[in-house]
Structure 1
Amino acid sequence: MELTQRQKAIFQAIVEEFIRCAEPIGSKTLMKLLDFNVSSATIRNEMATLEKYGLIEKTHTSSGRVPSRKGYRYYAEHMMISELDESTKAALGTIFNERHMSLDEAVRKTSEILSDLTNLTSIVLGPDESTQTLQNVQLIPISSQSAVAIIVTNTGHIENKVFQFGTDVSSKDLKTCCELMNKELTGTPINKVVDRMEEIKPLMSANLVRSEVLFESFVTAFMRFAEEKVAVSGRSNMLAQPDFNSIEKLRQLMKVLEDGKLFQEWTDQEGNVAIQIGSRNELIQIGDVSVITTRVHYKQEEGQLMVVGPNRMQYSRVIALMDYMSDVLEDVFDDKGGQDDERRNE
């Protein structure tokens, strides 16, 4: 399918105006939008050709046309220009440069920013620690009732956790606990550490005065560490989209967004259409919903940024934001950039 320059201009005008107003686009409206002179009859003929190609379709309520699912894919692949203005880049860069963020904080903040700037729902997945193994544990006392635990994985990921014990724990207990855990748990997959701790619980009881306190603290820490880091923001933004005026459809969508497993099944179901946009973005069409995904690399790990909205989303801005945000995140958590986890948690 090869479009003429005039057909491309008409099709682009239909897509971008429909994204803006959510109303079917007719030939008279197009006459005002195009930057060249052409008759209404000629526009209608070209629209008929675009409809034959499956790029636009007629609605039941108007003589105007709207982009089809295929049309949105063609626009995203061949016609979209995704550029972010410099003022937005500067503002986003400042948010991350002024604070030393943990990975959890960065994931949550990125999700909030994406939903705010797109007026859609954003989902940010951090790396899944369940695929990593424990490399080392350090315990640093703060007071007689608190300590900092530094957990290091085989990929170099570092997680800091402050423990408030609620009772006195001796430095000797902390030292012995640290030595015992490094001896017994090093090389254990993060998602298996809690099970392994249950196995060495008698050993901890035999060697530690405050074994129960230390055991419960570490079990809680590792359970949280092994969970997939996910942040969802802007669910309510779907309420403002005219594309989701069906209460039942909106209820089902909200249910999917609340549950990570349901969301995965939803995006993987048969019948979805997925296309690659550039080297790192993917567009998944699920009925009248689109999901834009962008991969982010954290050292040796991988996460994902996702924006969920109607097929009638502003693709150029959404993808430009996601590209820039993924670059910022990779820069923040790149060892070569000189901002490693230890510095961020000082």
Structure 2
Amino acid sequence: MTERQIAIFKAIVDEFTRTAEPVGSKRLLDLLDFTCSSATIRNEMAALEEMGLLEKTHTSSGRIPSSKGYRFYVEHLMEKQLDEGVKHSLQAVFSERHYSMDEIVKKSCDILSQMTSLTSVVLGPDSKYQTLQHIQLVPLNERSAVAIFITDHGHTENKTFHFGEDVSVKDIKTCCDLLNDKLSGTPIGEVVNKMKEIQPLLASHVARHEVLFEAFVNAFMKFASDNVYCSGQSNMLYQPEFADIEKLKELMKMLEDSSLFRQIANHDGNVAIQIGGDNDLIQIDDVAVVSSKFKLNNEEQGELMIVGPTRMQYNRVVALMEYMSKVIEDLYREENQ
């Protein structure tokens, strides 16, 4: 590609991601910082189309970037942009009060969806690498208590118990003590099966063991399930690419499938582009997923994702995700010092 072709191509990508309207030669005359004729621009656009970087739409003589074009742009031409005002705003949000790690990650996800007007997803660390360390019981009042499950990596899950006279705080405490004794050090993924093995022991020590057994099993199953949080799904309703109801249905089905995001994180069957460092771009039909990993320690990492149409402002999205990942890592480091 010549320098002129690169300038024209970059102008088309930037304008189309901003307006969602195909870009024609007349519009490019206003956008380019050098002078040439409409005929020259049309010739260069035709050449970029032959390279597979641009596509012509049925409704306009203008061009739009192709999937290959977006990949080329992200790999070679993108200049990440994030102004200092945005950084200060993000820092202010998290300095307002002390958040738990779970709250920090979810709030980051919400902020990303608000600031990009797209859908954001966060994948928490995979619990299969963790073991149960301790179960702690916190009575709330005469009729309720919270059981808190803590892993060897310091992650927690809680289960609130509301009970009548037939299930006492004493029974729940006895159940907790037995589970601590028999399950401490057990990998999270094996806890439910091991609980079934010790069910007869619970039956011999706890009056209403069936109710408690089911409650604890459900809590552990939630703990062991994929730790996926999604925010801003409704933003997709306002993207012109998904005005087609069938396309929108397919996208919503994708957003509801937490296991799919684990597959995307591993790039199974997708085209992945390493944007730099821990960032990737994955394209699935008309949908683009930009991901950024954050490291909690040497063994664990999570992943932020932005899901949207292939027409997204990659320079801003990638910069925002990189910064948010750094914020999460810094806050986690502060919390564990």
Q: TM-score, normalised by structure 1?
A: 0.86
Q: Deviations over 1:225-281 (max 9, x none)?
A: 2122212222222221112232212111111211223555688564x3221100111
- Alignment partner, residue 284 of structure 2: 286
Cα deviations across residues 55-77 of structure 1 (Å, max 9, x unaligned)? 22222332222111111111111
The CA deviation at 1:170 is: 5.4
Could you tell which deviates more after superposition, 7-16 or 242-251?
242-251
Q: Structure 2 CA distance, aligned partners of 1:133 and 1:261? A: 21
Compared CA separation, residues 258 and 140, structure 1 to 2 (3 A): closer
Give the secondary-structure state (helix, strand or coil) at the position aligned to 1:282. Answer: strand
Q: Show the counterpart of 2:71.
A: 73
Which sits farther off after the overlay, 316-325 or 49-58?
49-58
The structure-2 alpha-carbon separation of the partners of 1:258 and 1:142, relative to structure 1 and needing over 3 Å to count, comes to closer
Identity %: 58
SS in 1 for 2:81: coil
Structure 2 residue matching 1:20: 3-state secondary structure = helix
Amino acid at match of 1:305: L
1:196 corresponding residue in structure 2: 194
Deviation for aligned residue 1:216: 4.2
Task: Provide the TM-score with structure 2 as the length reference.
Answer: 0.88
Match of 1:81, SS state, is: coil
Partner of 1:259: 257
Partner SS, residue 249 of structure 2: helix
Change (3 A) 1:324 1:188: same
In the alignment, which residue of structure 1 is the partner of 2:229?
Answer: 231
Structure 2 unaligned residues grouped into runs of 5+: none
Q: CA RMSD in A?
A: 2.6
Give distance in 2, aligned partners of 1:331 and 1:244.
36
The one-letter amino acid paired with 2:284 is I
Secondary structure of 1:17's counterpart equals: helix
Q: Secondary structure of 1:83's partner?
A: coil
* Counterpart for residue 328 of structure 1: 327
Paired residue total: 334
**Distance in structure 1 (CA, Å) of the matches to 2:220 and 2:23:** 55
1:231-250 → structure 2 map (5 Å cutoff): 231-250=229-248
**Candidates 31, 34, 37, aligned match of 1:36:** 34
1:183-207 residue CA offsets vs partner (Å, 9 max, x unmatched): 2112222122122222212212323
Q: Which moved more, 1:153-162 or 1:53-62?
A: 153-162
Q: 2:11 corresponds to which residue?
A: 13
Superimposed CA distance per residue, residues 204-231 of structure 1 (whole angstroms, 9 cap, x where no aligned partner): 2323456455434433332222122212
Distance in structure 1 (CA, Å) of the matches to 2:122 and 2:164: 34
Match of 1:344 in 2: none
